[in-house]
Structure 1
Amino acid sequence: MKSTKVKYNFGNQGTFMIVYSAVLVYFMTGLTVDGLNIIVPGFAALKGWDANQLLSIATPASVAALILTSFWSIVIRKWGLKLSTTIALFAAAVSIILFAQSVNILMYGITETLMITFINCFSVIGGYAMIANWFPKKKGIVLGFTTMGMNVASATIPALLTAFSKIFDPNGNITHALYIFASILFLVGIFNQLLIKASPEDAGCFPDNEREELGHVDLPEGTPGSKERMNYLQALLNPRIWLLGLAYGLTGMGTVGIMSQMIPYLSSNRGFTIQAALMTMSVAALIGVLGSYLWGIVDQKWGTKFATQIYGIWYAAAIAMLIAPGGQMTLYLGIVMIGLGIGGNANFAPSMTTLCYGRSDFATAFSLVNMIHGVIRSAAFLVLGLVRGATGSTETAYLIFIVMSVLGTVVISFVNVKHVKNVEA
């Protein structure tokens, strides 16, 4: 297997775009996955609703949202990447406000769907498309840095939601926290429209910050002079897109399932206090900052396909350690392994899509890859809700996630990349 040298010469503007994309995915992970640790019990306490029912709603809401998100590439083609990202940021802010004002379960489900839709549109579609535009060759290590935003979200957003909930009410009110995050996203939308350059060409720079690469990479999708190749229907009928979605969906089930309910698991099943569980999750997420970087190196040096295969086995072993009956030692080993792994799956899906489809087709291809793997990944909420409700055992659901992670490793092995330029394997 060929090893590729990892290059860090991103340039000042390129580095800024990496940080900005990390901020976008920070909100995605924090508000649609990790934040459920606080949002679900917060609404249950505020409204008197059943927490398991609210958790189960996250699956159909996420499925519907990801189907809607898959059409966002059409908006990008019509309005451009920058404006479409700004629109999504504003729409996400409005959706969060409506979500906070939910008066019944139906409104909760509908507004949660809208919130997840637009958050995904500005982050994993808009943000990752910008990364594909700026770094088509250095995607592995760059995404390793970008997905650190997800790990920071896991470490901070549950705590921020808790703190923001108590700003105007000492007893805590989840709506206060949601209003604050909506206001932040509105400000980010203004910042995006005024200051962001969606491609290096717009900023007078070169892809990968390397002048010699300019003639070897296609122009960003939707830019003047770009070659329009794959449309939505063609992407929908492309078998490799479905393989990518399936592989990353299966490995992603464990990531979402573990991180969305780590605090309740540690407090209810392993004897942690709520404060200790919150701290443990934050520590695991901070370990994940290092993990994102390390998986980015593996991706850049040995290829995304190989990195994904290793990751699937790693995360299955991590879950096994978490639930193993070996006492505190295996529990903490599992937490460290999960911490190192949580950024990996988010790195690989956009990295592999960039490898296979390039800049000109990334937004179209990834909108569908993201939908497929997101729908499968979101089934983790349904598994948790149904299995825990039927058996009272969280560990049983976690065993299912182990199997899914291994299956994801098997599926990615069938993705053919030998015909791709700069083939990695």
Structure 2
Amino acid sequence: MSDSITVPLERSTSGAPLAVRSNFGPRGWSMVGFSLIMYYNFAAWTADGLNVIVQSFVDLHGWDFATLLAFSTPAGWLGVIGSLMIAELINRKGAKIVAIVGLVLLGLVLIWFGRVTSPMEYAVGLTLINFLATGVCFNVPGTLLNTWFPRKKGLALGWATMGMSLCTATLVPIMVLLFGVLGIPNAYAACGLILIALGLATIVWVRNSPEEAGCYPDNEPLSREQLAANLAELESHRSPFTIPVLLRDRDMWLISLGYGLLWLVDIGVVSQLVPRLISIGYDQSTAIFMFTTAAFFCAIFSYVWGWLDVRFGTRRVSIAYALFFVFTHACLMVKGGDVFTYFTLLLVGMSIAGIKELATSQVGSVYGRYDFAAANRVISTIACLFRVCCFAVIAASLKWTGGYDAAYGAFIVLDLVAAVLIYFITDTCKGKVDPA
């Protein structure tokens, strides 16, 4: 494209090596903290929450567990549609206004959700929750951090995506406590009120770009004139990466398919880790404790993968990540003793930590801060379609083999395919960048 600038990804536009220190500045750290909370809520209401949501309505109304669980798949697919629609709004209107409205609406839906009176109302509520949580809590933080930290996005995302790991480790006990103290309807109402408060706080908390807050991209000083020029360009920029252009773009497909496959195997592991541990002889309480242990490893290694991303480049680290997943899946196929099982849990925690950070960072690396939102609306949608396909692979393995080994074998093949696809992603930024 004639108006795009090509720069090497692994060096700054000035040619200086990239910094690997998390010196984001007070306002920058504030955006990282907000993004961490958003990722926590994304995981809470689209994945981890299903560990307690279904059972809570069975306990409250006596509805059939299998019937309620069956609603989760179509709700997830509709959530993918929400991701595309809300990502388009972010591209047109900016991340801040979408976060404000989306969080308030999600809070209102949760308040109503706790008081539904029929399985059909439950299905509608779950669909709305997936629609808003996927669209808002998934897309807003990625857009913010790629805009605030165009060259340190890997580090920023490494910190922020800890929110998903912390959710896995803490959500279930928190919700069980709330159910016990407040009752099920009021527990959902309390969560809804917190989200509404977060949405209102976003009005004064969040800025779409560092320039809006009088700060510098990557917290690296620029002249006052350059800061004003960047802000004017951000506000007036119209991305040339329209949907038809993206659908013809080779890198869009390589990123969507490569990282979509890695996300598929990631969710395939984390969503069935407890049943897998039970299947090899551990009791449920021990399996849950081991799962929580893996989640804390995941939180730590979210930062590690982000540091590696900035230090060595997103594409290289993503290939290494895919190959590391091959080793993890191979270990999951081995049924060893307690020591080996905990070693495997360490590998699982290290593996599942990187996908969201690396996938989001790769979009920013190829399309830049100005065109991230335009590219991400399509890429995140396609990747999410792969994410929800993991259950079909696991179900087939359980049905035809009675265990998880066939699924893990299939995941190894998908890991290798993903590594090949990522290898062919361009190593230069094809979107607009700030002038040196």
The TM-score, its normalising length taken from structure 2, stands at 0.86
* Pairs within 5 Å for 1:213-292: 219=230, 223-266=234-277, 268-292=278-302
Which string of whole-angstrom CA distances, capped at 9 and with x for unpartnered residues, describes residues 162-205 of structure 1? 22222245xxx4x5543332222111111112322221011101
Q: 2:189 aligns with which of 153, 159, 179?
A: 179
Which string of whole-angstrom CA distances, capped at 9 and with x for unpartnered residues, describes residues 57-94 of structure 1? 43332222112311223323443321111111122223
List 4+ stretches of structure 1 deviating above 6 A.
Answer: none
* Pairs within 5 Å for 1:158-177: 158-169=172-183, 173=184, 175-177=185-187
**Distance (whole Å) between structure 1 residues aligned to residue 134 and residue 229 of structure 2:** 25
- Counterpart of 1:192, as a letter, is T
* Pairs within 5 Å for 1:9-20: 9-20=23-34
Structure 1 residues 202-211 or 327-336, which shifts more?
Answer: 327-336
CA contact (8 A) 1:252 1:405 kept: no
Structure 1 residue runs of 5 or longer lacking an equivalent are none
Note closer, same or farther for the CA distance 1:342–1:413 as it changes in structure 2 (3 Å cut).
same
Which residue matches 1:313?
A: 323
Note closer, same or farther for the CA distance 1:200–1:269 as it changes in structure 2 (3 Å cut).
same
Structure 1 position 324 matched with structure 2 position 334: yes
Structure 1 position 85 matched with structure 2 position 99: yes
Which residue matches 2:398?
A: 388
Structure 1 position 352 matched with structure 2 position 362: yes
Q: CA deviation at 1:307?
A: 1.0
CA contact (8 A) 2:112 2:189 kept: no
Structure 1 residues 47-56 or 331-340, which shifts more?
Answer: 47-56
Partner SS state of residue 181, structure 2: coil
Partner SS state of residue 17, structure 1: helix
Q: CA deviation at 1:47?
A: 5.0
Structure 1 position 22 matched with structure 2 position 29: no
Q: 1:148 aligns with which of 139, 162, 168?
A: 162
Q: 1:39 aligns with which of 53, 76, 79?
A: 53
Structure 1 residues 141-150 or 103-112, which shifts more?
Answer: 103-112
Structure 2 residue runs of 5 or longer lacking an equivalent are 1-9, 12-16
Note closer, same or farther for the CA distance 1:394–1:50 as it changes in structure 2 (3 Å cut).
farther
The TM-score, its normalising length taken from structure 1, stands at 0.88
Which residue matches 1:68?
A: 82
**Distance (whole Å) between structure 1 residues aligned to residue 266 and residue 370 of structure 2:** 30
**Distance (whole Å) between structure 2 residues aligned to residue 53 and residue 387 of structure 1:** 22
**Distance (whole Å) between structure 2 residues aligned to residue 221 and residue 357 of structure 1:** 19
Note closer, same or farther for the CA distance 1:246–1:133 as it changes in structure 2 (3 Å cut).
same
How many pairs are equivalent? 417
- Counterpart of 2:378, as a letter, is L
- Counterpart of 2:23, as a letter, is N
- Counterpart of 1:345, as a letter, is I
Structure 1 residues 368-377 or 56-65, which shifts more?
Answer: 56-65
CA contact (8 A) 2:78 2:130 kept: no
**Distance (whole Å) between structure 2 residues aligned to residue 44 and residue 263 of structure 1:** 21
Structure 1 residues 126-135 or 319-328, which shifts more?
Answer: 319-328
CA contact (8 A) 2:365 2:428 kept: no
Note closer, same or farther for the CA distance 1:402–1:61 as it changes in structure 2 (3 Å cut).
farther
Which string of whole-angstrom CA distances, capped at 9 and with x for unpartnered residues, describes residues 243-263 of structure 1? 211111111112212222333
- Counterpart of 2:306, as a letter, is G
Structure 1 position 293 matched with structure 2 position 303: yes
Q: CA deviation at 1:420?
A: 4.6
Q: CA deviation at 1:386?
A: 5.0
Of structures 1 and 2, the larger Rg is shown by 2
CA contact (8 A) 1:40 1:51 kept: yes
Which residue matches 2:14?
A: none
- Counterpart of 1:205, as a letter, is C
Report sequence identity in percent: 28
**Distance (whole Å) between structure 2 residues aligned to residue 111 and residue 221 of structure 1:** 41
Q: CA deviation at 1:330?
A: 2.6
- Counterpart of 1:321, as a letter, is C
Structure 1 position 117 matched with structure 2 position 131: yes
Note closer, same or farther for the CA distance 1:93–1:331 as it changes in structure 2 (3 Å cut).
same
- Counterpart of 1:224, as a letter, is E
Q: 2:215 aligns with which of 205, 229, 236?
A: 205
* Pairs within 5 Å for 1:408-423: 408-418=418-428, 420=430
**Distance (whole Å) between structure 2 residues aligned to residue 240 and residue 96 of structure 1:** 38
**Distance (whole Å) between structure 2 residues aligned to residue 279 and residue 263 of structure 1:** 9
CA contact (8 A) 1:353 1:362 kept: yes
CA contact (8 A) 2:211 2:228 kept: no
Q: CA deviation at 1:394?
A: 3.7
What RMSD over aligned residues (CA atoms) do the two structures have, in Å? 2.9
